[in-house]
């Protein structure tokens, strides 16, 4: 791992470093509290509160908002001439055209210029207590060496480099090196199988892969180089595989393989950054599609970086000197936006988490918070529910006084998990920001913050749209629902800089998926409820809506009630075919370790609770008690697998290599069979 100090690029001196912090003193003298919160607001006439700032950002003057923010928060080589040129009905999305910049310079050089020895990355390795700190100066050198190495091996502007690595500093440097030389990156989660990896390599048209010899996670070693070797057998375009060493274990090297650290040592520590157009591709990131074929979503340079930085700063109330702890893997959009690009664009210190929440014990997160003095913690509800199951003692064992903000991401957080997170983890003093966004949106779109300091936060609700986001609800006839205390399909009424631009090699699929269902609006695929106060609550994917006897209900709503039972740790609800009702409800339930109730009693309690709190029609037809749920390594529950088990389509289970432990599937299959036998014998 490269940590020697290097030089900053001379090219940086030509950049206009109009960083917004320099304006605070001037603006403070104007007595504008809103300008102290967001300095650019001083230039917006008639804006004197955060709510008025939000209104401006979605009004006809929204371009003036984004222009001001972009000019002062990004360093430009050439200024943009057009703020936006967008037509959602046609899937045309362009921001800051005419402008040129380099993302790696915005994330590294300008901070090296002012604070070279500030810590950029804290690598929380799998082995507890063995963290590695990397300064901005060191990260810039590492990035430049990787950039020069890629250039020497023929990687050109416009190429796409596939990165198959665990979360580590060299993976971040590889992402930034691609950005520096004008290549796009395609980070593939290091838990994917060889088949899944090869599919993404081919679709991205990569000729270069960067990987490590082995991955280490939760005390277990995975053979990543071996997976790459298998994958590239069906990828004839691959010319080079760069192999870094995470462990000491030797691996078989072929003629196309390059020992990465050894070659980096011969490269220069200065790499001239490419001047990139605002709408050049920054990265591809593949996400699951309804057809089963992954979608390579395209994110571009300026708009994505600006939106990641702005949301990171204001949703989490991040300030200079804070330590930001996002525990997502870099293979997912959360890792891209809130482990890498957002924090680094803001000159922050960001934690790279390599391990699991329960290794070596369920106190891992909180021991890390104490040791690294983390100020903002951002994790998944499924991990919170998992840790809740182990009890409060693992949390209270450690000092969490450094925490200022808690965040959740990935799926709606149920009220019991929210309350535990707020009361136990945060000692009832840290706001919990339940964030809603997607790979497609690039960054957080709906969250309780930013808002006025004394504004309420409602448990389990994402609540308020971020600057520039104008959510709307659509009814079944495709009309905008204007009233409150109602539900509908969640759409966004106007474009924003961070949104994806296309699906790689298939723009038609992009427009059909996101722009055509409700012409003129961006269709999220999620359902939402808007309260009488105008707050938003995500009710789940619309394909996770169950239609029982003509009544539509989101699976997340049922799960929320189930999870409120004192004996339940977490649950997953799916719809199943029903001869009479059309669809029935099937609930998979994990009990807390401390629960001593009989399964039959728990099932009865859950059915009564759902009937009482929602309706009798929502009552689960089947409740299967399981030891655990099938989850990806990022913590998402694989409901697709649960549906296949219940529907007895075991041949259609598909690739299970992304699961944290594929053995859980057989446990659920056996449990389902046993449940059927019991029901048939009654």
Residue 449 in tokens: 């913050």
Question: What local confidence, expressed as pLDDT, does residue 372 receive?
Answer: 98
Question: What local confidence, expressed as pLDDT, does residue 554 receive?
Answer: 78
- The residue written with tokens 């020992």 in the block is 259
- The residue written with tokens 């190495």 in the block is 149
Complete edge-to-edge strand list for the sheet that includes strand 323-326: 132-135, 119-124, 349-353, 323-326, 376-379, 405-408, 432-434
**Mean pLDDT to the nearest integer, 140-154:** 98
Distance CA 266, CA 268 (A): 7
* Dihedral sign of CA atoms 171, 176, 177, 181 in order: positive
Could you report the per-residue pLDDT of 226-285, keeping only the tens digit for each? 999 999 999 999 999 999 999 999 999 999 999 999 999 999 999 999 999 999 999 999
pTM for this prediction: 0.84
Task: Kindly tell me the burial class for residue 623, based on how many C-beta atoms sit within 10 Å of its own C-beta (0-12, 13-18, 19 or more).
Answer: buried
Residues whose CB falls within 8 Å of the CB of residue 579, separated by 6 or more in sequence, listed in order:
none
Percentage of the chain beyond pLDDT 70 is 94
Residue 395 in tokens: 């949390």
Q: Is the pLDDT of residue 9 over 90?
A: no
Distance CA 539, CA 518 (A): 19
Length of the chain: 682
Residue 62 in tokens: 């929204």
Distance CA 408, CA 382 (A): 9
Beta bridge partners of 481: 473
Buried residues in 374-409 as b, exposed as e (16+ CB within 10 A): bbbbbbbbbbbbbbbbbeeebbeebebebbbbbbbb
510, 91 contact by CB (below 8 A): yes
**Mean pLDDT to the nearest integer, 135-139:** 98
Residues whose CB falls within 8 Å of the CB of residue 496, separated by 6 or more in sequence, listed in order:
303, 307, 441, 445, 468, 469
Alpha-helical runs (H) found in 118-272 = 136-152, 169-181, 194-204, 224-232, 260-264
Beta bridge partners of 248: none
Could you report the per-residue pLDDT of 82-118, keeping only the tens digit for each? 999 999 999 999 999 999 999 999 999 999 999 999 9
């Amino acid at each position: 791992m490269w940590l020697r100090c290097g030089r900053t690029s001379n090219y940086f001196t030509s950049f206009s470093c109009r960083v917004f912090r320099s304006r605070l003193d001037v603006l403070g003298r104007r007595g504008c509290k809103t300008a102290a919160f967001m300095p650019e607001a001083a230039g917006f006439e008639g804006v004197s509160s955060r709510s008025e700032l939000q209104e401006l950002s979605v009004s006809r003057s929204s371009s003036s908002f984004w222009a001001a923010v972009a000019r002062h928060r990004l360093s430009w080589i050439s200024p943009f001439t057009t703020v936006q040129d967008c037509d959602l009905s046609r899937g045309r999305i362009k921001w800051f055209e005419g402008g040129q910049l380099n993302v790696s310079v915005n994330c590294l050089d300008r901070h090296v210029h002012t604070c070279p020895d500030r810590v950029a990355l804290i690598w929380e390795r799998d082995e507890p207590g063995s963290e590695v700190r990397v300064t901005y100066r060191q990260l810039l050198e590492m990035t430049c060496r990787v950039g020069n190495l890629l250039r020497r091996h023929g990687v050109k502007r416009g190429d796409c480099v596939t990165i198959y690595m665990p979360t580590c500093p060299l993976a971040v440097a590889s992402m930034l090196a691609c950005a520096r030389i004008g290549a796009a990156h395609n980070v593939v989660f290091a838990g994917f199988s060889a088949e899944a990896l090869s599919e993404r390599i081919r679709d991205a048209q990569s000729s270069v892969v960067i990987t490590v010899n082995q991955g280490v996670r939760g005390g277990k070693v995975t053979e990543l180089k071996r997976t790459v070797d298998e994958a590239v057998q069906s990828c004839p375009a691959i010319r080079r595989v760069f192999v870094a060493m995470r462990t000491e274990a030797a691996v078989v090297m072929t003629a196309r393989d390059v020992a990465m650290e050894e070659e980096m040592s011969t490269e220069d520590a200065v790499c001239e950054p490419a001047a990139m157009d605002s709408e050049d591709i920054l990265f591809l990131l593949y996400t699951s599609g309804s057809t089963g074929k992954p979608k390579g979503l395209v994110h571009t340079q300026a708009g994505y970086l600006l939106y990641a930085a702005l949301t990171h700063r204001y949703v989490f109330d991040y300030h200079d000197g804070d330590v930001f702890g996002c525990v997502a893997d870099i293979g997912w959009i959360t890792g891209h936006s809130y482990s890498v690009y957002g924090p680094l664009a803001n000159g922050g210190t960001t934690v790279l988490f390599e391990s699991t929440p329960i290794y070596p014990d369920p106190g891992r997160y909180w021991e890390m918070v104490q040791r690294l003095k983390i100020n903002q913690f951002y994790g998944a509800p499924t991990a919170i529910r998992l840790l809740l199951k182990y009890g409060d003692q693992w949390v209270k064992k450690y000092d969490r006084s450094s925490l200022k903000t808690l965040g959740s991401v990935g799926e709606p957080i149920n009220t019991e998990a929210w309350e535990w997170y707020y009361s136990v983890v945060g000692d009832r003093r840290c706001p919990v920001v339940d964030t809603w966004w997607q790979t497609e949106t690039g960054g957080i779109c709906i969250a309780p913050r930013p808002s006025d300091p004394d504004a309420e936060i409602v448990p389990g609700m994402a609540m308020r749209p971020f600057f520039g986001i104008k959510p709307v609800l659509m009814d079944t006839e495709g009309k905008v629902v204007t009233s409150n205390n109602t539900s509908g399909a969640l759409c966004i009424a106007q474009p924003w800089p961070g949104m994806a631009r296309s699906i790689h090699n298939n723009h038609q699929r992009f427009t059909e998926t996101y722009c055509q269902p409700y012409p003129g609006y961006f269709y999220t695929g999620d359902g939402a409820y808007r309260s009488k106060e105008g707050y938003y609550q995500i009710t789940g994917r619309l394909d996770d809506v169950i239609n029982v006897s003509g009544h539509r209900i989101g699976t997340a709503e049922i799960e929320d009630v189930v999870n409120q039972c004192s004996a339940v740790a977490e649950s997953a609800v799916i719809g199943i075919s029903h001869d009479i009702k059309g669809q029935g409800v099937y609930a998979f339930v994990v009990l807390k370790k401390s629960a001593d109730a009989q399964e039959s009693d728990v099932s009865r309690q859950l059915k009564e609770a759902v009937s009482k709190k929602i309706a009798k029609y929502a009552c689960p037809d089947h409740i299967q008690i399981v030891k655990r749920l099938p989850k990806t390594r990022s913590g998402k529950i694989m409901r697709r697998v649960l549906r296949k088990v219940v529907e007895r389509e075991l041949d259609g289970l598909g690739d299970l290599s992304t699961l944290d432990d594929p053995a859980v599937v057989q446990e659920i299959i056996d449990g389902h069979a046993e449940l059927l036998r019991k029901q048939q014998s009654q």
